[in-house]
Amino acid sequence: MTGMSQLDEQRDPLTIAENWQGEGRKVAIATVVETWGSAPRPAGSHLVIDREGNFQGSVSGGCVEGAVVGEAADVIDSGEPRMLEFGVADETAWRVGLSCGGRIRVYVERLG
Amino acid sequence: MDPRLLAELNAERRARRAAILVTDLDDGHARLVREGDTIVGPIAEAVGKAFRTGNSGTVEAEGRRSFLNVHLPRPRLVVIGAVHISQALAPMAGVAGYPLEIIDPRTAFASPERFPEVDLKAEWPEDVLRVRPLDGYTALAAVTHDPKIDDYALKAALDAGCFYVGALGSRKTHAKRVERLQALGASAEQVGRIAAPIGLDIGAASPAEIAVAILAQVIQAFRSRGLETKAGAA
């Protein structure tokens, strides 16, 4: 990579989302919109998911990605965005678990 | 999200231009704000702050929640001169998150042996900057002391609106440099932007300490972007 662009397009979730959409895949974008405590990924981090459950990027250190991917399928089908919350105070969170003890809010929306 | 909006956002990011995607979390509507756009309304202040800090976050205003996702180009630091200071600056800048490139046509200075694993160009700044242009998210530090090498790059940095332009040399050296840059067409306002003597005043003595002073000044300039124009307008 030269010093010019510095967008790592192979791994950049938003570039991948655009490319997937261009290939005709159905795509959802998940974004960390709020964090409390020691959240593993900062606000603005993205996970992009297609209808088959392929995903790129991250919204946590790998703790909640599985749950987000599951929700993304519904969002892709319905077209309705969803706000997800993960954290130690939440019963679901114990199951999917943010082991760091932080809390995050993730916005999931369909592309297109 | 509208795919056209995503394409626009990605185009801005590829072109190394700052942009914020503002998403209304209540109705899902999103819009793109580019740096320099005039924003009115309750989130104007938050938008300005987000461009400065690069921190994304949720903003509540007038009962609506908006998410501001900030996309700033990664800042880069171009150093004119493969000198002792640059040898210390290269690893420090990388650690601090300001990837560094060094340009110096003097091959005895710009040798890979002196600069292992550094993005090094043993060419004239004119030739390098033509293919790798400067921009508002680039800092330029000219440290050769040699007008033949430094001057063109300094003028180019001022014209490109680099967020930081610094030049090594005493006040006397700088006064002569200002005359030369003005002869090249630089305005008084432009030359006023040059940090000279270079570096924050921490009493730096050794080349490594001067490198610290330069890096600190680059960080200060990056984190206060936009503040000076605001103060000027007030």
| pLDDT confidence bin for A29, thresholds 50/70/90 | very high
Helix residue spans in B72-142 (DSSP H): 84-96, 125-131
- The tokens for A40 are 């593993």
Residue A102, pLDDT score: 78
State how many domains chain A has.
Answer: 1
Interstrand relation of B164-167 and B138-142 (parallel, antiparallel or unpaired): parallel
CB contact under 8 A, A3 and B1: no
Ranges assigned E (strand) in chain A: 27-36, 46-50, 55-57, 82-87, 103-111
Residue A8 lies inside a defined structural domain of this protein: no
Residue A3 has pLDDT above 50, yes or no: no
User: Which residues span the domain enclosing A86?
Assistant: 13-19+26-111
Give me the interface pTM, i.e. the ipTM. 0.84
A69 is a domain residue = yes
In a domain, A7, yes or no: no
Tens-digit pLDDT profile for residues B91-139: 999 989 899 999 999 999 999 999 999 999 999 999 999 999 999 999 9
CATH placement of domain B76-223? 3.40.50.720
Q: Give φ, ψ of B28 to 5 degrees.
A: 80, -5
pLDDT tens digits, A39-59 = 788 999 999 999 999 999 999
- Tell me the nearest-neighbour CA distance from A24 into chain B, angstroms: 12
pLDDT grade for B232, boundaries at 50, 70 and 90:
very low
Residue A36 falls inside a structural domain: yes
DSSP string, B177-233: HHHHHHHTT--HHHHHTSBSS-S-SS---SHHHHHHHHHHHHHHHHHTTTHHHHHHH
Say if strands A82-87 and B64-71 run parallel, antiparallel, or are unpaired.
unpaired
Residue A6 lies in a domain: no
pLDDT one-digit tens code per residue, B177-231:
999 999 999 999 999 999 999 999 999 999 999 999 999 999 999 988 865 544 4
Each domain of chain B, given as residue ranges in start order, spans: 3-71, 76-223
> pLDDT per residue over B46-89, tens digit each?
999 999 889 999 999 889 999 999 999 989 999 999 999 999 99
Q: Please check the confidence at residue B13 and state whether its pLDDT lies above 60.
A: yes
Helix locations, A34-99, DSSP H: 65-78, 91-96
- Would the CB atoms of B74 and A6 count as touching at under 8 Å? yes
**Shortest alpha-carbon distance between residue B113 and chain A (Å):** 20
Nearest residue, CB atoms, B69 vs list A21, A31, A110? A31
At CB < 8 Å, which residues of chain B contact A? 1-3, 6-7, 9-10, 13-14, 16, 23, 25, 28, 55-58, 67, 69-70, 73-74, 76, 99, 101, 119, 132
Mark yes or no for CB contact A3/B76 under 8 Å.
yes
% of chain B at pLDDT higher than 70? 96
Six token digits for residue A22: 């261009």
Q: How does residue A99 score in pLDDT terms, banded at 50, 70 and 90?
A: low
Cβ neighbours of A43 in B, within 8 Å? 55-58, 67, 69
User: Does A91 have pLDDT greater than 70?
Assistant: no
pTM: 0.76
